[in-house]
Structure formats: structure tokens, C-alpha cells
Amino acid sequence: MNFAQLQEKIGVRFRDERVLRQAFTHSSYVNEQKGRRICDNERLEFLGDAVLELTVSQFLYKSFPNMSEGEMTKLRAAIVCEPSLVKFAELLQFGELVLLGKGEELTGGRQRPALLADVFEAFIGALYLDQGLEVVFRFMEKYVYPRIDKGEFTQVTDFKSQLQEYVQQENMGDLQYRIIQEKGPAHNREFVSEVLLNDKPLGTGTGRSKKEAEQRAAARALMVLGSN
């Protein structure tokens, strides 16, 4: 994949492709280009980190109106952290585009988690600089928010307790959970849970265990109640 293909894939045409290229330029590459005026991605990474915090914060604030500040902070930290950013970078095959010095390349820098996470942050910084915040939000809606919707980060907070408290406070009725599907072989089982409010389905979730599936179903239910 090249930079033209990446822009086509995400549906964004950069006004200044040098900014995009800079987002993928590692300091090891710059160090080997003596005499050339090339900038690495570290300043863009700094900017992208702040933009990610803002865009994820807004999504959580709007999607989970009953979530406390502390819970939102925990969930945001789980989304804007190295393992999660690496997943986003791998999803978009960012590793293929990174400009590395020979030494970094030989030691497997292209697959190094910290490097990929930094590149994703730098890319977000470049996207913001070149296109503005609205385009960043559209990018997040396509590649990041759906993974939050699916409950990929629910392990950091107890959504079942939050849902129970909310339903009790509002005197909405009775909650119950049920496993509606089991998929995959015994060593790689996947469960689908459904949460019901007064016998009416409110949300579903998938997980590697029944508990995880129920947490994801509860997270989805909270989003449904929040949007209503």
C-alpha cells in the first residue's frame, strides 16, 4: 500500500501530502537523511494525542449520559492506550507505510507496538491539521467508534452494575440476561448475550466468556437508553 491508496481507502484527499508523509516518518529515517529537510512525526504525535482525547471524550459524553466522570476517564484511557491504538493502526495497515531507518527496519520496527501506536496518533494529528476536526470525527465514526459500540473496551468498567442502578433509579422494571448463541470450537468459544428489560430485548453483546458477553450487552443497552 502507498499513500495514494491509503487516502483512497479512508476517503480523504490531503491538501498537503507532505503532512501525511510526515506522520509516517520515524526519527530513525530522518537521522539517515543527512542534509535533507525532513521532519519526523513526534510533534504530530503530540497533537494527535490531544485530538484523540477530545474526540473520544465527546463520543463517550454523548453516548453514555449516565456514566460518571471517573468511569468515562477509565474507559477513555482504555481506548486511547498503546494496545488499542496498535489495533487501529493494524486495521489500516499503517505498518506498511512507515518510513524507517535501516537499523530500525532490521530490528523489526515496522511491527513494534509503541511505534505503530505513535504513528496512529501522528496520523490523527496530520488529519486534523490538514482537514480540520469535522473530518477527524468522520474518520473516528468509521474506524474507532464502532469498536467502542461493539464493547471492545468494556473490561475496564462494570456496565452491568451501571445499567442495574439506572433501571432502579428510573423505576423502569426488571432486567434479565440470557445467552442466545454459542459459536466456535470448545477451545475458542464465543458467546452472544442479550439483556432484556421487562422481557423486551434492550441490547446484545459478544464475548469470549458469558460474563464478557453480558457486560457488552449492558454497555449496548446503556447506549440505547442514553440515545432515547
The dihedral sign for the CA sequence 70, 42, 124, 24: negative
Q: Which residues are catalytic?
A: 49, 121
The beta-strand segments (E) located in 6-141 are none
Query: Helices 210-227 and 159-169, interaxial angle, to 10°?
Result: 40
- Chain centroid to Cα 89, Å, comes to 10
The Cα–Cα gap between 10 and 135 comes to: 11
Q: Which residues contact 176 (CB under 8 A, 6 or more apart)?
A: 195, 196, 199
Q: How many CA atoms lie within 13 A of 154 on its CB side?
A: 30
The Cα–Cα gap between 147 and 91 comes to: 11
> Could you tell me the three cell numbers for 86?
496498535
